[in-house]
Amino acid sequence: MPELPEVETTRRGIAPHLEGAAVSGIVVRQPRLRWPVPENLSPLLNGQRLNSVGRRGKYLLLNFAPGSLLLHLGMSGSLRVLPNGTPPQRHDHFDLEFDNNSLLRLRDPRRFGAVLWQPTGECHELLARLGLEPLREGSMATICIRSANHAASPSSS
């Protein structure tokens, strides 16, 4: 399973290639990963510019105006930035195509990874359960920590 430093390295590696580019297409070859890939991603993301690539724990957050695409690599997943039109190989389950002639491809042989959606201003339940961010403080970390603390009741301690 990729550990936090590998996820941060992945974030730093893909960000300069994709930030500022607009989504031109989405290809879902395998909708059944750890959790089902949301069916409504195309209308949400087509034409949207990628504002930033963030990280919360081992989740990568592709931040767009309407929300964030959450990506988790699971046990054996990887992300690659490739030229648009690169033929998929076995275990290539998800492509996010951009207008700068590049695509972000998720390859996950074991299918324990995830592609999820989080609307702007909300905190996905998986992020809300995470503790403090060890490497940096960010607005998304603050939102999720606040949500997790608010959800906890004295009786659940």
Q: Token digits for 57?
A: 């724990």
- Taken in order of first residue, the domains within the chain and their CATH numbers are 4-121 (3.20.190.10)
Over the stretch 34-44, which tens digit does the pLDDT of each residue have? 999 999 999 99
Higher pLDDT, 45 or 129: 45
- State the average pLDDT over residues 129-134: 77
In the residue annotation, 16 being an active-site residue is answered as no
- Please give the sequence-ordered ranges of beta strands (E in DSSP) within 29-73, or none if there are none: 52-56, 59-64, 67-72
Mean pLDDT of the chain: 85
Higher pLDDT, 2 or 22: 22
Give the model's confidence band at 136: pLDDT under 50 very low, under 70 low, under 90 confident, else very high.
low
Enter the pTM of the model: 0.83
Burial label for 49, CB within 10 Å (0-12, 13-18, 19+), is middle
In the residue annotation, 97 being an active-site residue is answered as no
Main-chain dihedrals φ then ψ at residue 36, nearest 5 degrees = -60, 140
Is the pLDDT at 125 greater than 60? The verdict is yes
CA distance 66 to 145: 21
- Active site residue: 3, 5, 39, 83, which one? 3
Over the stretch 46-61, which tens digit does the pLDDT of each residue have? 999 999 999 998 999 9
